[in-house]
Chain A
Amino acid sequence: MTAALSIQGLNKSFAGVRAITDLSFEVPKGVTTALIGPNGAGKTTVFNLVSGVYGVDAGTITANGVDITHMPSRKRISTGIARSFQNIRLMSHLTVLENMLVGQHVRNTSLRALLTPYRLFPNHRWKVEARAALAESGLEEWANETVGALPYGVRKRIDLVRATLAGASVLMLDEPAAGLNPSETNALRDHLKALMAKGITLLVVEHDMHFVDSICENVVVLNFGEKIAEGPLSQVRQNAKVREAYIGAEEV
């Protein structure tokens, strides 16, 4: 079986400074994986390389068996890999519902879809689908608000729902629990478990180790752009290198 995401020998430097060095790991289908490490370890850089925000210096990236290493960033989502953003990137001029509709784009790319006057139909299937997705996360009351003014926790969840609407089989989530209160974190956990039950593979960057422990089967630990450990969280915790990397940082 092909892996959901496979990274081999990845290297990236910025202005001569090495950000990622010889990184290799796989995310098998259905195995929720966490990418952890101290601040500045290169976790978000990995996401940016996989989604194509930056080009790689060396190495290959394969999503669902397709080599996406040199694919234009725009086309990568059609191989079934979507992402959320650490510093929530919603389109602030659009309403919540409209953000969802943009999220559906990759499944509606024909010229006909582009020119269908869906706004003339109050119950167009796109809107029905987007409202249903919002309702699943208890967000339907915000559907017609412009996103700019919404509370942080709400925008965070909207960002996640938009990523799911691409219909991707692999979701990369950049610190989904950061800044959420305990009850919001619980709701997020339920949401992610529901996605996992639908067969979606998750790759999560996260600092909250209780959260990681509660959903992830496999953990990849980065430090200074290199993989220093991999395995179930209970095992990596015992790893001396991991303990050293986290000294003075946060408890593992």
Chain B
Amino acid sequence: MRGSMLAQQIVNGLMLGAIYMLMAVAFTLAIGVLNFLNFSLPGLFMLGGMVAYGFIKFGWPTLFAFAAALAVAALVSLLVERFAYRPMQGGDPEVPLVSSLGFLVLLENLMLIYFGSDQQAFPALVPDLNLRLGGLVIGIAQLGSLALSVLLVLWLSWFLSSTSTGRCIRTVAENRDTAVLMGIDTGRLVPMLFIASALLAAVAGLLFAVNYQQVSPFMGEGVGFKGVAAMIVGGMGSIWGAVLGGLLIGLAEVLSISFIGADVVNITVYGLLLVILILRPQGLLGRPATREKL
């Protein structure tokens, strides 16, 4: 009995971890390539869920509402690039972080004005079917989300390693100056990266809304911060690190809730992050930093 409960919690942890994984990959794209801790991403996650909710309530077909939510997130991300990232090049590294945080506050408050601060019930879109495997219960929506997340990450990993645009992105990540010298058009690449990370965050928000059937203006904060934690645990700038970190954080959260209690989640999740940062700052799959040259 105890064993099957553990197995069930591991399954639930992996499902939640898939959402963190998408957020972590979104953060890692921005950090790894642009060296930008983009705190607007939790806001874009929230937009994914809230905008879809708004349009569905409006009477739009579900798929259109989803597409609209993704489009809105991508557009807002371009604004973030224009106003939080682009003007700050060459300044103190904390400044774009603050501006992107400004976007998070702005998005949350706009949604608050429109929808109020309460949690809204997101309609159940997927029939409430469960797979039963042995003693395990796996929801169709959960399984679909996990599969979609994994496919997205696999595709992104393939894209980065096998296409010419992907190689350009990796060159920029390696050394921005060299990339410019090699004739890579960063003016085109950077907005593309902003759109890509926004889409990942918004998809995560949509999956969260569909799975947990609730949305609110502040739904991005908790998930977003755990996405950052997942990225760092795995190793900044590494896609597979983000995957590993996301799943670990999801597991740590679900297991500590079910075996210790809901109040200790922040202790275990952020304690794990702190321990990793002290013992292995580059993360589980990251490369250590090298000492600068004089």
Contacts and interface: CB of A to CB of B under 8 A. Distances in A.
- Decide if A and B touch, CB cutoff 8 A: yes
A232 B145 CA distance: 76
Contacts of B294: 44, 48, 53, 85-87, 89
A86 B294 CA distance: 8
8 contacts: A44-B294, A48-B294, A53-B291, A53-B294, A85-B294, A86-B294, A87-B294, A89-B294
A89 B291 CA distance: 16
Interface residues of A, number: 7
Interface string A159-181: 00000000000000000000000
A137 B291 CA distance: 34
Contacts of A48: 294
Interface residues of B, number: 2
A83 to B, nearest CB: 9
A87 B291 CA distance: 17
Contacts of A89: 294
A48 B291 CA distance: 12
Instruction: Determine chain B's interface SS by DSSP, over half rule.
Output: loop
Contacts of A87: 294
Interface string B37-81: 000000000000000000000000000000000000000000000
Given A48-B294, A53-B294, A86-B294, 5 more contacts: A44-B294, A53-B291, A85-B294, A87-B294, A89-B294
A173 to B, nearest CB: 14
Interface in A138-195: none
A197 B291 CA distance: 37
Nearest to A51: B294
- Which 8 A-B pairs have CB atoms at the shortest separation, nearest pair first? A53-B294, A48-B294, A85-B294, A44-B294, A89-B294, A86-B294, A87-B294, A53-B291
Nearest to B92: A93
Contacts of A85: 294
B140 to A, nearest CB: 52
B238 to A, nearest CB: 21
A86 B293 CA distance: 11
A73 B125 CA distance: 64
A66 B291 CA distance: 26
Contacts of A53: 291, 294
Nearest to A93: B92
Interface string A119-150: 00000000000000000000000000000000
B292 to A, nearest CB: 9
A100 B291 CA distance: 26
Interface in B246-294: 291, 294
A85 B294 CA distance: 8
A44 B293 CA distance: 11
Contacts of B291: 53
Interface string A48-82: 10000100000000000000000000000000000
A30 B66 CA distance: 78
Interface in B113-150: none
Interface in B190-218: none
A53 B290 CA distance: 12
Interface string A8-44: 0000000000000000000000000000000000001
A118 B203 CA distance: 57
A163 to B, nearest CB: 14
A87 B294 CA distance: 8
Nearest to A44: B294
Nearest to A85: B294
